[in-house]
Amino acid sequence: MSTPIPHYMIIGGGITGLSAAFYLKQRLELEGGPFRISLVEKSSSFGGKIHTIERDGCVIEKGPDSFLARKRPTIDLARELGIEGELTGTNPKAKKTYIVSKGKLHRMPPGLVLGIPTQMTPFLKTGLISPIGKARAAFDLILPKAKPSVDESLGHFLERRLGKEVLERIVEPLLAGIYAGDTFKLSLKSTFPQFRMMEQKHRSLILGMMESRKHVSEESAHVPAAVRSSVFVTFKKGLQTLVKGLETALEGVVELRRNVGVVSIAKTSELQSEVTFEDGHQELVDGVIVTTPTFQTANLLSHLPAASKLKKIEYISVANVIMAFDRKDIPFELDASGFLVPRTEGRTITACTLTSAKWLHTAPEGKVVLRCYIGRSGEQDWPLLTDQQLIAKARDDLRELLGLQAEPLFAEVTRLMNSMPQYPVGHLEQIVRFREELAEAMPHVFVTGAGFHGVGIPDCVGQGKEAAWKLADQVATMEAAAVR
């Protein structure tokens, strides 16, 4: 009687799931022996929020538009996929960034790193912060470090170190924009743990950030020379290049199953689980990696008490409005990457990227593409508006802030509902407890994704790889035990 081929399933075909499938395939091929891997995705396409389109010669990202170059996972993956040569950096002539203050655009002072000043002279000259606010920020240089605590909010930490004014006018719109969150609800340990480490090591956040800048070249040693000077990186034909590269690498070995929804995952034995699908059929699998949003994962594992911890992770909905214009109709210089809008300004948009200035490959000669962001924690009424109303509100803000009167050549609205996980204070501890309980109940099921340890593309790629290696290690251990 023949031994059945082990079947491993990855649920969720976003960038985490694709990466998990790639690295699991890679590891199992090295181990030798037969295997079967299925990657199942409920929608009609893979890639999750990554969605590149081309319209009238413009390369448009309806989801994320880039990733941090200093974080290794995506660069390493591009190299393994053979698409490293497609990487491109930002326009070196558009390095300026602005922040809106009292209805006017102010240039962010040079030397800011994640909103933290590392050059004091430009910071002291900026009109963004009052003299009192600057003096309060300078207290960071003499304040003692706090005693290590389990966790605290990002907002509480930054206000404690730099003061309320710097937090609200510079740091909050920059950092909270990454998570579309409220800094006073976001966990410091889960979002920017390096801040706490800097305080503990250097006593001062500013001094710690200054010291970290000295090691930037070491951090970027893995980055291809052609894009090493760029903080953010993408692909010349858009981020869909990464998705297509992964699909190509998986085809013929991994079963890529689109339009397949999963209802539940139940344990049948110490070695297997039963996956139930929306059409009613069931499959036995020898290992599962779940990469869906945590609220969906909680439903798949609803029979486990541990799943209740995942339901506590809130998600925020965001949107973006992308518009194209003729260059002759743009009444301002295209020498900046864009601007940020603090909450206190009361605008509809939270930021605007001058896309074709930041990324030279995104628009043909004579055309300009702008991307406006909408939605964040505490501002979740926008889904009630129609696409035309969102476009109109974005245009109102651009008219008042930039003097842009022209009708757009076209506009694309993307609604990313329940797309931004919020990491509350104590998030990491909750995740540790969840994984401990899951490992006890279903040791061959691994859960990961943006709701756990980072929302950026490198974070998701890294988490997919980590889950794949854990499953592969488990397979190797079981095979070794069987031989003995």
Distance between CA atoms of residues 298 and 308, nearest Å: 7
pLDDT at 475: 85
Mean pLDDT of all residues belonging to the chain? 93
Instruction: For 428-481, give the DSSP string.
Output: HHHHHHHHHHHHHH-TTEEE-SHHHH-SSHHHHHHHHHHHHHHHHHHHHHHHHH
Which residue, chain included where needed, has tokens 């950096």?
A: 89
Residue bearing tokens 């800094």: 183
* Average pLDDT, integer, range 84-103: 93
Q: Which residue has the tokens 């797309």?
A: 419
- Dump pLDDT digits (tens) for 128-169: 999 999 999 999 999 999 988 779 999 999 999 999 999 999
Render pLDDT for 205-234 as a digit per residue (tens, 0 to 9): 999 999 887 776 566 678 788 788 888 999
Parse the chain into domains and list their residue ranges.
7-48+243-313+424-483, 110-216, 315-419
The structure's pTM equals 0.94
Same fold, 110-216 and 315-419: no
Q: Which residue has the higher pLDDT, 236 or 31?
A: 236
Q: Which CATH superfamily is domain 315-419 in?
A: Protoporphyrinogen oxidase, mitochondrial; domain 2 (3.90.660.20)
- On whether the CB atoms of residues 463 and 74 are closer than 8 A, the answer is no
Give residue 50's pLDDT band: very low, low, confident or very high (50, 70, 90). very high
Residue 107: Cβ within 10 Å count = 15
Between the alpha carbon of residue 361 and those of residues 57, 238, 317, the distances in Å are: 10, 9, 29
Partner residues linked to 68 by β-bridges: 232
CATH fold for domain 7-48+243-313+424-483: FAD/NAD(P)-binding domain (3.50.50)
CATH superfamily of the domain spanning 110-216: protoporphyrinogen ix oxidase, domain 3 (1.10.3110.10)
